């Protein structure tokens, strides 16, 4: 069993998209199914945080060997959703070396990227393994050493774990992610991304 479980954050309402991102088409699957399958190719422990539309999304994931966390306070922001997910994770998986966190709307990130993050991680050194785009943006997916989990459990609001990245910058090691960290917040962005990158 892995000592670095993976959390996929999929609790948001997708307000700007106008429909649940989780249920968007991606090739011959739904976006969330694509994400789950990509992650499961790299780990045996995946926890998916659901919130908005959970009753519609959960049935689409029944075929996978994963655990779902349903967060009723999803509308309070990503920070709250992440804090809840880590709290729930530690109830069922108490002995971890770190946690890898990714987002539902990053379908271009491949399993090989997650594998690279795990490969460079050294437990017990306060490492934060973050992803860096070709425009020098640094953020999720992020692998946090267990040292930071108490702070993550105290997060709130929309900012998520960015505050930890900034506070502990000297411990951050980045993995190049090229153009795979593109935002997918609007129908136009989704269509552009789907046409350009989705497998046919």
Q: Please, what are the domains in the chain?
A: 6-197 (3.90.550.10)
The contacts found for 22-25 with CB under 8 angstroms, 24 or more apart, are: 22/53, 22/57, 22/104, 23/53, 23/56, 23/57, 23/60, 24/190, 25/194
Taking the CA of residue 197 as centre, how many other CA atoms within 13 Å lie in the half-sphere pointing to its CB? Answer: 17
pLDDT attached to residue 139: 94
pLDDT of residue 9: 95
Q: What is the C-alpha separation between 103 and 129, in angstroms, rounded?
A: 15
Tokens of 44: 């045996």
What's the pTM? 0.94
Looking at residue 89, its pLDDT comes to: 94
pLDDT of residue 94: 80
Q: What is the pLDDT along the chain (200 residues), one digit of tens a residue?
A: 469 999 999 998 877 887 889 999 998 999 999 999 999 999 999 999 999 899 999 999 999 999 999 998 777 878 889 999 999 999 988 889 999 999 999 999 999 999 999 999 999 999 999 999 999 999 999 999 999 999 999 988 777 788 999 999 999 999 999 999 988 889 999 998 888 765 54
* Residue 110: burial class (beta carbons within 10 Å; 0-12, 13-18, 19+): middle
Q: What is the pLDDT of residue 1?
A: 44
User: What pLDDT score does 115 carry?
Assistant: 98
What is the pLDDT at residue 198?
54
Dihedral-angle region of residue 85 (phi above 0 means left; psi in -120 to 50 means alpha; beta otherwise): alpha
| pLDDT computed for residue 164 by the predictor | 94
CA angle 127, 73, 79 (to 5 degrees): 25
What pLDDT sits at residue 199? 55
């Amino acid at each position: 069993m892995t000592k670095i479980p993976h959390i996929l954050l999929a609790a948001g309402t997708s307000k700007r998209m106008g429909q649940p991102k989780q249920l968007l088409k991606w090739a011959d699957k739904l976006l969330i199914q694509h994400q789950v399958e990509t992650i499961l190719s790299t780990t045996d422990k995946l926890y998916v945080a659901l919130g908005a539309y959970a009753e519609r999304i959960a049935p689409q994931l029944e075929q996978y060997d994963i655990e779902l966390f349903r967060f009723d306070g999803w509308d309070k922001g990503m920070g709250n959703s992440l804090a809840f997910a880590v709290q729930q994770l530690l109830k069922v998986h108490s002995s971890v070396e770190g946690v890898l966190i990714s987002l539902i709307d990053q379908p271009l990130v491949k399993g090989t990227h997650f594998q690279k993050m795990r490969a460079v991680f050294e437990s017990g050194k306060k490492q934060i393994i973050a992803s860096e785009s070709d425009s020098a943006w640094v953020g999720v997916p992020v692998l946090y050493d267990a040292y930071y989990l108490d702070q993550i459990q105290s997060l709130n609001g929309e900012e998520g774990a960015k505050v930890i990245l900034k506070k502990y910058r000297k411990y951050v090691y980045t993995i190049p992610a090229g153009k795979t960290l593109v935002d997918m917040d609007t129908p136009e962005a989704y269509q552009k991304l789907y046409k350009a990158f989705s497998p046919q």
